[in-house]
Structure 1
Amino acid sequence: MVNLSKNIESNSLYELYKTLELPVDLFELTEGFTIFNLNEIGFSLPYSSSSFRPNFFSFLLVKNGQGKYSIDEYSFDVAPNSVYFTNPSNFRTFSWTEINDVLLITFDETFLKKYIGRDVYTEFPFLLTEIVRPKVVSDSFFQELKYITSLIHKTYKGKSIAKYNIIGHFLAILLFKIKEHIWIDYNPIYEGNRSSTIVISFKRMLEQHYRDISSGRVETVFRVQDYAEAQHLHPNYLSSVIKNKTGKSIAIWIADKTLSEAKALLQNPEIPIKEISYKLGFSESAHFSTFFKKHEGISPVQYRKSSVL
């Protein structure tokens, strides 16, 4: 049995389900993307999960089902004809009392940037939001989403050598549709209270800074002090807000972003690993290799070879 008092950290849905002792036979592990109808998983209902923190994004399309998601002090009922979105953030739980037609899509940041584009957060700023209530949508709009996701699902189960390129295009269409109908006027800077604004500003600055590093516009990796000064805050206060609101320290946020950027850069065989090391603030390629291997279990050279096959 899973220890319900344990907080679980997971980098993928596969990793989460395995820890929760749920079936994982249907998973395709080539890329950081999954799509399932939850009735395929075989939940024993009613089901309640342990507390977990995902390092991936997810969309839940509930045509026919009943459940509940909780994030921090917030708890949301998930009902028929609802769309629910979550991103890498705080610890949460989920429970189900009925699952008939519930589609779950998950993807990580590396997948987004590889198959949709490196400016994905500029095009879809709602991906950075913290707490999102499930949205009950019209039946006609839900059917539009169902059609797009059925194409994604069919492609995911297929054998096309270009399957993830195709999925990336369909996922972009899905994000545009959701943005147009749900978050057309969304601006993360105005979201929530002061603490939420701090978190959103930090995330946006982190994303923009690493984009500037990758493009060569800047050459110096920011310290915590730099992120704090940009918001006119004491570094200790910023660190406390980020840790308390997201469950992750600034050091982990920066390490995760460094790893994500490293993986994206390594997919371009024309950029020398020594140059990638320098771009990401490592004084020596050996330091970069040690960092990468610590987090991924393989060296940058091995990762590059596997990603360009």
Structure 2
Amino acid sequence: MSSKNLVVKTLNELYELMGIPHSMVDQTSGFTILYLQDQFKELPISSIPFRPNYFSFAFIKDAFGNYTIDDLHFNMVPGTVYFTNPGNFRKFEWQSITDTCLIVFNESFLKEQVYPEIYRDFSFLLTETVEPRVLKPEQFAIIEELYRFIYREHHGNSPYKNKVIGNALVVLLLKIKEYFFQDYNPIHEGNRSSQIVKTFKQNLEQHFRDLAGGKTGTQLRVQDYADKQFLHVNYLSSVITSKTGKSISAWIADKTIAEAKAMLQDKQMNIKEIAGKLGFLEASHFSNYFKKHTAQSPAEYRKQLV
């Protein structure tokens, strides 16, 4: 798996590169739900290698195929629930698809439409690699009711649909946690590099939780994250980049923007307060940083919110 062949892409960009229709992919909200049988008309099909920047759940009611995550290979059969998070090398192949639903979402959607402390209740979202699981038919039927409801809402016209979807997603995640993770034993936990990645993600989440809670007012540097694991900064940087396809600085930037967007939802907080909560000494520094990464100022982003 040569890194030169890996592509970090959104779902929209992935489908475009593969020549797959992508009009059903929502490029604005950070959330998409679709049925793969509507997307992949010519089978079998193999994807290009990629590293996604989104979380995904595949609910495989009736289909056959396989997925590759890093150097691990998993068969996809009817009744399977398959979860992945951002960063890992990915490739999929489908031999047949009769009924399979795909949900993808980014961290900004979780923070804005679900709730900021999402990882506290659903820590499995931070886990690097989780083995797919075949559910009992009665369990899958309950999951199916939930994702079909979410699909109807997503393709409806309610002005509150993202909030409705966010709350329904909590229910879906709770049922997945109940069925999937009661005896949760993530694979690769014994792998040194994977443990470093998981600990880094946990430290990143905890630091931003401390910032939001007022427990600290200082941003952490790459060196600080290395110090937390007693690692040389170059080694930590190498592990994170090689395992996730994204640098530590990029992880920090993406996390900062996701938290900022969530805070901007609260009209009671002014931009100076938000800047302070995120560890920026000056509101102007925060505004410049936000615009650099989103092409919008915080005020412009807030103005477009419903």
Task: Mark the CA change 1:190 to 1:26 in structure 2 (over 3 Å): closer, same or farther.
Answer: closer
Matches of 1:199 and 1:151, distance apart in 2: 34
TM-score (structure 1 length as normaliser):
0.91
Farther-moved stretch of structure 1 (80-89 vs 238-247): 238-247
Q: How many residues align?
A: 303
Structure 2 gap segments, 5+ residues each: none
Query: Which structure 2 residues correspond to residues 254-273 of structure 1 after superposition, within 5 A?
Result: 254-273=252-271
The residue that corresponds to 1:143 in the other structure is: 141
Match of 2:219, SS state, is coil
Match of 1:271, SS state, is coil
2:19 is the alignment partner of 1:21 = yes
Work out the percentage of aligned pairs sharing the same amino acid.
50
Report which structure shows greater RCO (CA 8 Å, sep ≥6).
2
Report the AA paired with residue 84 of structure 1: Y
2:57 is the alignment partner of 1:59 = yes
Deviations 1:251-301 (A, max 9, x none): 111111111111111222222222323333334333323322222122221
Aligned residues of 1:87 and 1:130 also touching (Cα < 8 A)? yes
Farther-moved stretch of structure 1 (41-50 vs 170-179): 41-50
Matches of 1:51 and 1:190, distance apart in 2: 21
Match of 1:75, SS state, is strand
2:38 is the alignment partner of 1:40 = yes
Matches of 1:13 and 1:76, distance apart in 2: 20
Matches of 1:228 and 1:286, distance apart in 2: 29
Matches of 1:187 and 1:273, distance apart in 2: 42
Matches of 1:208 and 1:79, distance apart in 2: 37
The residue that corresponds to 2:272 in the other structure is: 274
Structure 1 residue 64: Cα displacement? 0.9
Matches of 1:166 and 1:90, distance apart in 2: 30
Task: Mark the CA change 1:120 to 1:208 in structure 2 (over 3 Å): closer, same or farther.
Answer: same
Deviations 1:237-264 (A, max 9, x none): 2222212222211111111111111111
Task: Mark the CA change 1:50 to 1:246 in structure 2 (over 3 Å): closer, same or farther.
Answer: same
Structure 1 residue 221: Cα displacement? 0.7
The residue that corresponds to 1:115 in the other structure is: 113
Farther-moved stretch of structure 1 (31-40 vs 263-272): 263-272
RMSD: 2.0
Report the AA paired with residue 196 of structure 2: I
Task: Mark the CA change 1:22 to 1:211 in structure 2 (over 3 Å): closer, same or farther.
Answer: same
Matches of 1:261 and 1:138, distance apart in 2: 37
Equivalent of residue 72 in structure 1, options 70, 73, 78: 70
Equivalent of residue 303 in structure 1, options 297, 301, 304: 301
Report the AA paired with residue 281 of structure 1: G
The residue that corresponds to 1:125 in the other structure is: 123
Equivalent of residue 209 in structure 2, options 203, 207, 211: 211
Task: Mark the CA change 1:266 to 1:277 in structure 2 (over 3 Å): closer, same or farther.
Answer: same
Structure 1 gap segments, 5+ residues each: none
Structure 1 residue 189: Cα displacement? 11
Matches of 1:251 and 1:217, distance apart in 2: 22
Query: Which structure 2 residues correspond to residues 192-231 of structure 1 after superposition, within 5 A?
Result: 192-231=190-229
Structure 1 residue 157: Cα displacement? 1.6
Task: Mark the CA change 1:254 to 1:28 in structure 2 (over 3 Å): closer, same or farther.
Answer: closer
Deviations 1:27-66 (A, max 9, x none): 3444111111111114421211111111111100111111
Match of 2:279, SS state, is coil
Deviations 1:210-243 (A, max 9, x none): 1111222210111122212222222222222212
2:268 is the alignment partner of 1:246 = no
Task: Mark the CA change 1:257 to 1:186 in structure 2 (over 3 Å): closer, same or farther.
Answer: same
Farther-moved stretch of structure 1 (258-267 vs 290-299): 290-299
Equivalent of residue 177 in structure 2, options 168, 179, 184: 179
Farther-moved stretch of structure 1 (264-273 vs 145-154): 264-273
